[in-house]
Copies of this chain bind each other. A is one copy, B any other.
Amino acid sequence: MAVSAKSVTPKARGRPARLNRERVVAAAIECVGEHGIEALSMRQIGASLGASAMAIYRYVADRDDLLLAMLDHVARTIAHPPVNRSDREEIVAVMMALHSGFRSHPWVVRVLLFEGKGSLLVMPLVERIFAALDRLGLDIEASIEAYLLLLHYSYGESLSFETAERRQEARAAFVSAGFEAFPTVRRATAASAGRENDEYERNLRRIVAAL
């Protein structure tokens, strides 16, 4: 029956580990946060932990497994907002919570979209949205479409403004090269220079108001 050990610690048998899965995932997230998702490499992670690339594979099956673990890690940091008075405020609050995750970790959206992954840990938030849409009187089809509208806008916004410079670049692109032929665009460009908005929240509220 082997009731024997299992008490304090079974005393590890082999070489003592310097690394563990948590540290590997944390190192990967930090690396991506600093140099962007495209700079993420096993060698880089290993180096940042004072180890070789292959050392990582003791704690992670492969690149996909690592990405999934990173998603879960971020999902755990998302604060679940308190239940709201109105259903519309509930939707806004939950989407803002999700979006704050995308904002702090822009690579998350790329992983969600391009690696076909997703963390189950955000499902309670998704459920709250569907429940609120239900209470608002939307039927199931309309709820799905509304959810996709909210989610896809959030994705697009996060990717588009993935970095702070990207906000600037977007404006610079407007300003550049021969836009005299497009007067309204020109005026818009001039007006947008140097403003630091929370345009996401306002647009989110526009969507929610329209549901």
- A residues at B contact (CB < 8 Å): 113, 116, 118, 120, 123-124, 126-127, 130-131, 133-134, 140-141, 143-149, 151-157, 159-160, 162, 166, 169, 173, 177-179, 181-185, 187-188, 191-192, 195, 197, 199, 202-203, 206-207, 209-211
Contact = CB atoms under 8 A, between A and B. Distances in A.
Given A149-B206, A152-B157, 16 more contacts: A113-B159, A116-B166, A116-B169, A124-B182, A127-B183, A127-B184, A131-B184, A144-B192, A145-B199, A145-B202, A149-B203, A149-B207, A151-B160, A152-B160, A155-B160, A156-B157
Q: Is the interface of A mostly helix, strand, loop or mixed?
A: helix
Contacts of A151: 156, 160
Contacts of A152: 153, 155-157, 160
Q: How many copies does the complex hold?
A: 2
Q: Counting chain B CB atoms within 10 Å of each CB, which of A118, A120, A140, A148 scores highest?
A: A148
